[in-house]
Structure 1
Amino acid sequence: MVDKEVVIVGAGFSGIGLGIQLRKAGITDFTILEAADDIGGVWHHNRYPGVAVDIPSTTYSYSYEPNPSWSRLFAPGDELAAYAKRCAAKYGVTNHVRLHTRVEAAEYDADQHHWSVRTSGGSLTARFLISAVGPLDQPKYPDIPGLGTFAGPTVHTARWDPTVDLRGKRVAVIGSGATALQLIPEIAPEVARLSAFQRTPIWVIPKPNTTIAPPMRRLFERVPVTQRVLRMATSLLAELVMTAGIAYHMRVPLFVRSVEKLCLWHLEQQVADPETRERLTPKYGLGCKRPSFSNTYLRTFNRDNVDLITDRIVRIVHEGIVTARTDNASGEVTETLHEVEILLLATGFKTMQLGVVPPFPLHGTDGIEVGQWWDEHKYQNYEGISSPLAPNFWLMNGPWAAAGASWFSVIESGSRHIVRCLDEARRRRATQMVVRQEPHDAYMRSMHKKVRHTSFAQPSCSQANSYYFDRHGEAPFVRPISGPALELASRTFDLDHYRYDQAPLPGSQK
């Protein structure tokens, strides 16, 4: 006997969405283990000023649970956190969640066909184990000498400290990705001086972030089809930018160049100083690094109290940040101390690396630790969700999984894949299922073929410092297909690509 038929790790939108689909399928013997003190995942942890979704909220939501109450087209973070709680409660998932429970390791028992899961609150066994920990879970701290020597408060945006008062202070922000794009324009008006340290500029697309007026919200509530039509429109827009710009980059060069020209025009309209514009201009192609939408980030650099610093950071000291600049003619290096009182790290998250994917030690077939094996042999995952190394295990948000206009495309497709598998295991009375090596390898061959047409095949990506890439120089974060193709695959993959077994009865011989 096992403690639970299904154990899910993570109570963000992935874990909640999977829990909803399990209940719809009549699978109720499951628990969701969550390390934090509340559900919501990235939207529970990220509470920095200006935090918001970076694609339209009508698209960034469950397709079966539209929210007519979004205040803006790109909703702020607190509304996303509230939406997660509301969905979990409405569909009966909340009572399945066990908070303050961090998974420390999991080991597969090949004889009994179950997982032994060790947590901060004790151990339990599960027939099936699913990691639904999102890719933006573990904050990435910059590898800068002296980081711990800074005298003032140091805050990572993913673990925001609301007690730190920025008003009238000299503040430094390290990072220039999607988080900095939201944070910098929000705090610039209240600080005495803001020093923005940029290693790599970001492609910034104009943001149609309109307020959704109360009459429109009432219309969405009373005539739901109107919101579904808007969802179709925003999904198409996001699909064009994210999928065409990244997954089909080489196949639609005219579209990609058009988006780049739009971004460059936007930059010219927003930033007055030509030299600053030049430093904010990406030197890599669209899609190497995730682009984002904003109407406020670029023009913040017109402010008198905002400095854009692109010299390389050499160390952090008690008083602030030391940068260096090399004279091209003489080779002479000049160092500058930037004195600041508060240090904000908008440096993103660890993604495709050991200890993150999977997010805990996972010992599968023959005791192989999956994360270590992937780190040594490159990341690979059938349909972006399962591995021959780990029976009875699925990894949502894993290697070769992210596709489509919204992360909810990945969540719903991954949930559909898993529920189909569990239903088939039940139908066959199987206690173990594992993807076969041959279809797994065929899938990976198709991924490596498709990636040749993506933005990641551009030589300029070497300048992007993108979290899409792993230490092998590959980009396993993204599955290079469209959202509709992702959905179709989750509905039609061959269930015989898995092998099904039954555990021996107690007392029987193998």
Structure 2
Amino acid sequence: MSRTSTAEPLVIDVAIVGAGFAGIGMATQLARRGRDSFVVLERAGGVGGTWRDNTYPGIACDIPAHLYSFSFRPPWDWATLYPQGAEIRRYLEQTVVDEGLTPHIRLGCELRDARWSDAESRWEIETSAGAVCARVLVMAVGRLSEPHIPDIDGLESFTGTVVHTAQWRDDLLAGGERIGVVGTGASAVQVIPHLAADAEELVVFSRTPPYVVPRDDRRFTVEERAELAVPERAQAVRQDMLADADRAFRQRLGLRPDIDAIRERASSHLRRQVAAPGLRAALTPDYEIGCKRILLSDDFYPALQRPNVVFEPSALDSVVECKARAVSGQTYDLDVLVMATGFEATRLPAAVRVRGRHGEVLDDHWSAGMVSFASTAVHGFPNMFVLDGPNAALGHNSAIYMIETQLDYVVGALDHMARNAIVAIEVTAAAEEAYTREIDERSASTVWLTGCNSWYVDPRSGRLTLLWPGTAVSFRERNGTFDPTPYEIESRPVDEGGRYP
């Protein structure tokens, strides 16, 4: 699964960057259609993406297992309603084996530069393991691949250990440490209960408290697991879960009684689990529910009330050696700082390494926030498709459903190119601009643009650039089928052997 650097480039039809859900899904669809001229470039030493990198205590998914998996894969014998991170990683590793993808995956192969060649109508790619020439480039690097470390004064002077949740080490803690956790988002509410159990003291720095609802996780019974091993039953369960999750989008529109019901569910959960008025007030959000991701946990609030846990209702402001100072002025002596601070989601770091027509850098094209057509194609970047990128995520439903929709779109584009001897397709500027206006108009009334500031919104433009402002089903209706109409197309005759002259 690895390839050493050679003088001769690897010439391939499709180059896929990233071996997470999106990259493995794309490779699976190509392999199942008999396309063997593709390669998956993965910088790490294993597949799995987010679920390979995140191994902190308590890592799990907050979408039910049967919805957070490929619909086109045989049913998996999931142990619990919400799968653990290691279980998802094993699912992806098994997918690679079962689908025969191992020969196509290049591990330890980091993208360094990708440039579109007008002369050759192909992408010329430099990696840490050699050169690749590909007719089509599929960016499947995801939104949760580059950890975000906030700019904290004096952090470099900290005499203890600083670790981001996405860079966890099993040997990090021996027990009895004084630990500070920065953030109270999705990763934080999972890791905090586990850290609290063994820490001498745990300080939780919270800039903005989250809305939390009951997780209500449970193990499947033997009988349920046997029933869900039947493909038809598993698919029916998946469809029911999809429809149920999509109904929650009404909350994001601020529609009543939907938004009032979910707000009351979160408030009731807080009242039931936190009796102390002061702590309860500090944990009560002052923004509209749904603007930031609604979290699922049954043990986060109880963990905060342990005698060895301090809830600091302000952000970490500065560090001087072992002393961490909060915005409130409180200081704490700490041995370990755990940064549960999310990812560089609105500005994909890999975009600085991709150059389209006339040498335009993708990051420059996205200087005012990510834009696209169909959340998949970008003007000025022919034969390139972006998975899980601009406005292709959801705040209320499964990312895997969205990825599968994009896979259908890309496969449709590749089939169209093959049938019509097309060497290059590029979405027009007008189509990209119109789609961007559509996104902005659909976003305007949602809680994401009216309820608070969140990582879903690009700080440079104030635009909603990460989420699709609609239901999962509406995304598929809008973007699930490739249509060549908004594309500029370059065709070239082929010889009798199907080769381009």
Using structure 1 for the length normalisation, give the TM-score: 0.91
- In the alignment, what sits opposite 1:367? 359
Counterpart check, 1:36 vs 2:28: no
Counterpart check, 1:52 vs 2:41: no
The answer to whether the 8 A contact 1:111-1:503 is kept is no
Task: Give a deviation string over 1:207-233, Cα, whole Å, max 9, x none.
Answer: 120111233212222x33333333233
- In the alignment, what sits opposite 1:480? 469
Task: Give a deviation string over 1:122-141, Cα, whole Å, max 9, x none.
Answer: 21111000100110000011
CA deviation after TM superposition for structure 1 residue 66, in Å:
4.8
Task: Give a deviation string over 1:375-409, Cα, whole Å, max 9, x none.
Answer: 1x442100101111100101111112224720101
The answer to whether the 8 A contact 2:352-2:362 is kept is no
Q: Which runs of 4+ in 1 moved over 6 A?
A: none
The answer to whether the 8 A contact 1:382-1:435 is kept is yes
Q: Select which of 375, 383, 407 maps to 1:415.
A: 407
- In the alignment, what sits opposite 1:244? 250
Query: Which stretch has the larger CA shift, 200-209 or 484-493?
Result: 484-493
CA deviation after TM superposition for structure 1 residue 28, in Å:
1.5
The answer to whether the 8 A contact 1:432-1:503 is kept is no
Counterpart check, 1:171 vs 2:190: no
The answer to whether the 8 A contact 2:352-2:361 is kept is no
The answer to whether the 8 A contact 1:55-1:238 is kept is no
- In the alignment, what sits opposite 2:108? 100
Distance 2:474 2:390 in 1: 17
Query: Which stretch has the larger CA shift, 69-78 or 88-97?
Result: 88-97
CA deviation after TM superposition for structure 1 residue 203, in Å:
1.2
Distance 2:166 2:410 in 1: 29
- In the alignment, what sits opposite 2:299? 296
Change (3 A) 1:198 1:71: same
Q: Select which of 90, 111, 118 maps to 2:98.
A: 90
Distance 1:126 1:52 in 2: 36
- In the alignment, what sits opposite 2:444? 452
Query: Which stretch has the larger CA shift, 386-395 or 252-261?
Result: 252-261
The answer to whether the 8 A contact 2:205-2:326 is kept is no
Query: Which stretch has the larger CA shift, 62-71 or 15-24?
Result: 62-71
Where does structure 2 lack aligned partners over 5 or more consecutive residues? 1-8, 496-501
Aligned residues: 486
Q: Is the partner of 2:463 in helix, strand or coil?
A: coil
Q: Is the partner of 1:101 in helix, strand or coil?
A: coil
Counterpart check, 1:62 vs 2:65: no
Q: Select which of 291, 314, 318 maps to 2:317.
A: 314
CA deviation after TM superposition for structure 1 residue 199, in Å:
0.7
Measured on the aligned residues, the alpha-carbon RMSD in Å equals 1.9
The residue type equivalent to 1:21 in the other structure is Q
- In the alignment, what sits opposite 2:387? 396
- In the alignment, what sits opposite 2:235? 228
The residue type equivalent to 2:390 in the other structure is P
Distance 1:226 1:91 in 2: 22
Change (3 A) 1:194 1:158: same
- In the alignment, what sits opposite 1:347? 341
Q: Is the partner of 1:299 in helix, strand or coil?
A: helix
Distance 1:226 1:504 in 2: 48
Mapping of 1:101-250 within 5 angstroms? 101-221=109-229, 223-241=230-248, 243-246=249-252, 249-250=253-254
Distance 1:450 1:324 in 2: 36
The answer to whether the 8 A contact 2:421-2:494 is kept is no
Q: Is the partner of 2:204 in helix, strand or coil?
A: strand
Counterpart check, 1:382 vs 2:373: yes
Distance 2:481 2:410 in 1: 13
Task: Give a deviation string over 1:279-318, Cα, whole Å, max 9, x none.
Answer: 1111111221111211111221221111100234321121
The answer to whether the 8 A contact 1:40-1:85 is kept is yes
Using structure 2 for the length normalisation, give the TM-score: 0.93
The answer to whether the 8 A contact 1:58-1:66 is kept is no
Q: Is the partner of 2:44 in helix, strand or coil?
A: coil
CA deviation after TM superposition for structure 1 residue 336, in Å:
2.8
The answer to whether the 8 A contact 1:68-1:227 is kept is no
Task: Give a deviation string over 1:259-298, Cα, whole Å, max 9, x none.
Answer: 0111011111111211111111111112211112111112
Distance 1:59 1:437 in 2: 35
CA deviation after TM superposition for structure 1 residue 40, in Å:
0.3
Query: Which stretch has the larger CA shift, 310-319 or 103-112?
Result: 310-319
- In the alignment, what sits opposite 2:434? 442
The residue type equivalent to 1:302 in the other structure is Q
Distance 1:295 1:469 in 2: 31
CA deviation after TM superposition for structure 1 residue 360, in Å:
4.3
Q: Select which of 15, 20, 34 maps to 2:23.
A: 15
Distance 1:476 1:274 in 2: 38
The answer to whether the 8 A contact 2:457-2:466 is kept is yes
The answer to whether the 8 A contact 1:106-1:360 is kept is no
What is the percentage of aligned positions where both structures have the same residue? Answer: 30
Task: Give a deviation string over 1:233-263, Cα, whole Å, max 9, x none.
Answer: 322332233x3333xx14x232012101110
Task: Give a deviation string over 1:398-457, Cα, whole Å, max 9, x none.
Answer: 112224720101210111111000000111101111112232222222111111232123
Where does structure 1 lack aligned partners over 5 or more consecutive residues? 326-334
